[in-house]
């Protein structure tokens, strides 16, 4: 019987291996590439004269942002997320002026409320371990019991799922209320706020160990015309801080439990607000608790690709009860998924579409969102990357990009690799590419610091 190593050796020895490897390298070793077959040709725009014509098959990266699904595409998503957030923090690129560093900016964390005591790890200000508030025992940070209910029988799973399903609406209500609080601070009407300033933000959702999301957001106060417009003098960082706290404390959404009992959904009591410090270059925190622009952008990029890994939820949609029964997750997270699945069968919650989002523990929002004028968009970053690659390839072929028409005719041929041997080879190629990129990044940083 042939082993996996035998199949890998056989695949490497096939005549088309070099062509196949080039396709894998073109998508960075993507774990589940989209396979396309068809034709690709180039023509002169002015004359219609053919330049190049080829038939065959190509790979297109899957684009999944979760590292647990595809590390390669998650890296690319993280890089885009970093540039998206960084542009809104520091400016100087992507069409955002450097003057944004002079504007009131805060890094805000909004959490979920408690739905029952859970096991936790605590440390004192001096870094000493403290006993769990739920059971009084000491837990190792890697202990899988962290985040699970002290008493699963009394834990409010229904409330937790309904809060999760409304978290996106809570954020929308929060931003609306924040504008009201800013208007109150300025002594103007809410409808007049847009005449004085614009609220800009970039937000990312991250799962806690207990399976509920909390939101990390960069909030910036611009002038009415956006980042290039000066912020009014009354809109100080202290005003922004007070407005955030007031808005977070006052936002509520009322829904109902399956038995008709009213349920008020709000943010948790823990609201963390940290100032963004442009002078703290390498350190994560300044002496006053502020956070550096570079570190903050890196945090957001990391949060954006973590997906549900920390929550132990599923990476793919739940299709049936059997999917839930065979999930390799903790009992706590299975209960959350089961609750979302069960609530999704009730007419009262049809608009929440909970069965579709059961694998996300009921959370229905986007993981990374931003206001329109905060910074560049993902679409713009990807379009710029495509344009650069096309221009680079045409320049290498000594062709004028302004006089070349690209015509593609591709048909869908499947997803992923055709066998285990190809998956193993692609994973090895992906690892080599990531290691090479990391090494180059370290060398570039060392060279920049030396200079």
pLDDT of residue 253 exceeding 60: yes
Pairing of strands 404-415, 34-44: antiparallel
Question: Which tokens is 355 given?
Answer: 């069965």
* Confidence at 96, pLDDT banded by 50, 70, 90: confident
- Lowest mean pLDDT across 40-44, 263-267, 278-282, 379-383: 278-282
Question: Which tokens is 296 given?
Answer: 């903050």
Cα(112)–Cα(98) distance, integer angstroms: 34
Q: Per-residue b/e over 353-381, b at no fewer than 16 CB within 10 Å?
A: ebbebbbbbbbbbebbbbbebbbbeeeeb
What's the confidence (pLDDT) of residue 282?
Answer: 47
What's the confidence (pLDDT) of residue 310?
Answer: 47
DSSP H or E run through 427: helix 420-450
Q: Using the Cα atoms of residue 119, residue 123, residue 129 and residue 133 in order, give the sign of their dihedral.
A: negative
* Whether 331 contacts 93, CB under 8 Å: no
pLDDT of residue 406 exceeding 90: no
- Cα dihedral 333, 339, 345, 349, rounded to 10, equals -110
pLDDT of residue 281 exceeding 60: no
pLDDT of residue 280 exceeding 50: no
- Lowest mean pLDDT across 57-66, 385-394, 424-433: 385-394
pTM greater than the 0.85 cutoff: no
Higher-pLDDT residue of 167 and 98 is: 167
- Start-to-end Cα distance in the chain: 58
pLDDT of residue 75 exceeding 50: yes
* Whether 303 contacts 206, CB under 8 Å: yes
Distances 52 to 40, 120, 404, 405, 409 between C-alpha atoms, Å? 8, 62, 10, 11, 14
* Whether 120 contacts 134, CB under 8 Å: yes
Smallest CA-to-CA distance from 106 within 246, 247, 269, 277 is with 277
Instruction: Give the model confidence (pLDDT) of 195-235 as tens digits.
Output: 999 999 999 888 888 999 999 999 999 999 988 899 999 99
Mean pLDDT of the chain: 87
DSSP H or E run through 110: strand 105-110
Cα(373)–Cα(4) distance, integer angstroms: 52
Pairing of strands 50-60, 34-44: antiparallel
Cα(213)–Cα(211) distance, integer angstroms: 7
- For residue 285, list its beta bridge partners: 291
Question: What ranges in 150-234 are assigned the alpha helix state H?
Answer: 157-186
Cα(363)–Cα(187) distance, integer angstroms: 37
* Confidence at 78, pLDDT banded by 50, 70, 90: confident
What's the confidence (pLDDT) of residue 287?
Answer: 52
Q: What would you report as the CA-atom Rg of the chain, rounded to the nearest whole angstrom?
A: 25
* Confidence at 312, pLDDT banded by 50, 70, 90: low
* Confidence at 308, pLDDT banded by 50, 70, 90: very low
Cα(310)–Cα(331) distance, integer angstroms: 15
Q: Ranked by mean pLDDT, which of 97-101, 221-225, 395-399 comes out on top?
A: 221-225
Domains of the chain by residue range: 4-65+379-450, 71-115+156-316+367-376
pLDDT of residue 432 exceeding 70: yes
Question: Any residues with CB less than 8 A from the CB of 81 and at least 6 apart, and which?
Answer: 204, 300, 301, 304, 305, 368
Average pLDDT score over residue span 319-344: 93
Average pLDDT score over residue span 351-363: 94
* Confidence at 412, pLDDT banded by 50, 70, 90: very high
What's the confidence (pLDDT) of residue 179?
Answer: 95
Cα(310)–Cα(329) distance, integer angstroms: 11
Instruction: Give the model confidence (pLDDT) of 114-152 as tens digits.
Output: 999 999 998 888 888 889 888 888 988 889 899 999 999
What's the confidence (pLDDT) of residue 451?
Answer: 58
Cα(32)–Cα(84) distance, integer angstroms: 25
* Confidence at 309, pLDDT banded by 50, 70, 90: very low
Q: How many residues does the chain have?
A: 451
The 3-state DSSP class for residue 218 equals strand
* Whether 357 contacts 340, CB under 8 Å: yes
pLDDT of residue 313 exceeding 70: no
pLDDT of residue 290 exceeding 80: no
């Amino acid at each position: 019987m042939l082993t996996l190593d035998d199949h890998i050796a056989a695949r490497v020895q096939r005549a088309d291996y070099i062509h196949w490897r080039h396709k894998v390298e073109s998508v960075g070793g993507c774990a589940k590439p989209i396979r396309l077959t068809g034709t690709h040709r180039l023509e002169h725009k002015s004359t219609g004269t053919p330049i190049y014509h080829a038939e065959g098959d190509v790979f297109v990266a899957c684009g999944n942002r979760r590292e647990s699904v595809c590390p390669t595409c998650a890296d690319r998503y993280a890089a885009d997320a970093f540039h998206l957030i960084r542009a809104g923090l520091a400016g100087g690129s992507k069409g955002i002026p450097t003057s944004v560093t002079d504007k009131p900016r805060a890094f805000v964390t909004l959490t979920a409320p408690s739905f029952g005591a859970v096991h936790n790890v605590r440390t004192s200000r001096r870094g000493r371990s403290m006993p769990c508030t739920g059971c009084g025992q000491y837990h190792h940070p890697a202990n899988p019991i962290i985040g699970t209910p002290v008493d699963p029988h009394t834990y409010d799973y229904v409330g937790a799922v309904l809060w999760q399903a409304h978290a996106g609406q809570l954020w929308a209500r929060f931003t609306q209320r924040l504008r009201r609080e800013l208007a109150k601070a300025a002594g103007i009407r809410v409808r007049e706020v847009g005449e004085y300033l614009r609220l800009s933000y970039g937000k990312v959702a991250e799962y806690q160990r207990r399976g509920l999301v909390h939101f990390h957001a960069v909030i910036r106060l611009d002038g009415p015309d956006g980042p290039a417009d000066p912020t009014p003098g009354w809109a100080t960082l202290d005003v922004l801080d007070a407005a955030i706290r007031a808005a977070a404390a006052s936002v509520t959404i009322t829904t109902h439990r399956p038995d008709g009992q009213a349920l008020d959904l709000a943010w948790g009591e823990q609201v963390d607000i940290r100032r963004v410090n442009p002078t703290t270059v390498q350190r994560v925190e300044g002496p006053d608790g502020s956070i550096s622009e570079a570190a903050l952008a890196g945090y957001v990029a990391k949060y954006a690709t973590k997906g549900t890994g920390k929550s132990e939820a599923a990476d793919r949609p739940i299709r049936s009860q059997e999917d839930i029964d065979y999930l390799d997750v903790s009992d706590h997270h299975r209960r959350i998924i089961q609750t979302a699945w069960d609530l999704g069968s009730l007419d009262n919650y049809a608009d929440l579409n909970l069965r579709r989002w059961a694998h996300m523990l009921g959370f229905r929002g986007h993981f990374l969102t931003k206001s329109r004028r905060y910074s560049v968009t993902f679409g713009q970053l990807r379009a710029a990357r495509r344009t650069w690659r096309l221009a680079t390839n045409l320049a290498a072929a000594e062709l004028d990009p302004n006089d070349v028409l690209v015509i593609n005719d591709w048909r869908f041929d499947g997803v992923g690799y055709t066998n285990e041997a190809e998956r193993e080879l692609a994973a090895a190629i992906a690892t080599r590419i990531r290691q090479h990129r990391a090494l180059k990044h370290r060398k570039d940083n060392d060279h920049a610091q030396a200079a």
